[in-house]
Amino acid sequence: MPFVSSQVPAAIILLAAGLLACFLGYRLFRWLLAIYGFVGGAYLTSLFVEALEPWAATATIVGGGLAGALLLLIVYLAGLAMLGAGLGALAVSLFWTPQNGDPETWIVVVACLVGAIAAVSLQRYVIIVSTAFGGAWTALVGGLALGGNAEATAAATGDVWQVYPMAPANGQVPFAIGWFGLGLLAAWIQLRATSSARACRKVGGN
């Protein structure tokens, strides 16, 4: 798949946003929620504006994005629970694949509930881990897309099913290793940074 110039901005945005989320996700989590809410709201709105004029469709999509960002900022804990639910579903797809195809629906539902409860109870750690690995994935996709990788280019333009873990690991082992390695490094850096900040606040309080 040729990497045309129109895809370069998307790849750069993915790389920059991924690195920010990867290493500063905990500190910027509310901003990240707003960004993801804007993207989600804009995407959902774009599904219903085909019959509108271009200017009206653009205004409607921007309005939907702003509404999505505001909604996630207002329902902060709900957004965190949704994040945990997503991590639970991802864990099922990563670590348990039955022989007859997709996992049972009830298993995915239970994993989502456990992930949501854990996310609300252990906010700091869940935010750090999710932003570290989510940012690492995004940054790698953006970087590889800039380099012309076909699967990453497809993911950068919306077809995320071409890249691990949405796609099988066969043929994408280097990507999987790089993702886990960068995610672990980023999570460790965020944990160290937030622990140091908490220690400094305690010392200052005393």
CA distance 179 to 90: 14
pLDDT of residue 7: 67
Which pLDDT value is given to residue 199?
62
- Please give the pLDDT value at position 187: 92
Question: What local confidence, expressed as pLDDT, does residue 3 receive?
Answer: 44
Instruction: Give me the average pLDDT of each 10-residue run along the chain (206 residues).
Output: 56 84 84 77 77 79 84 73 76 63 67 77 81 90 86 76 76 87 93 75 58
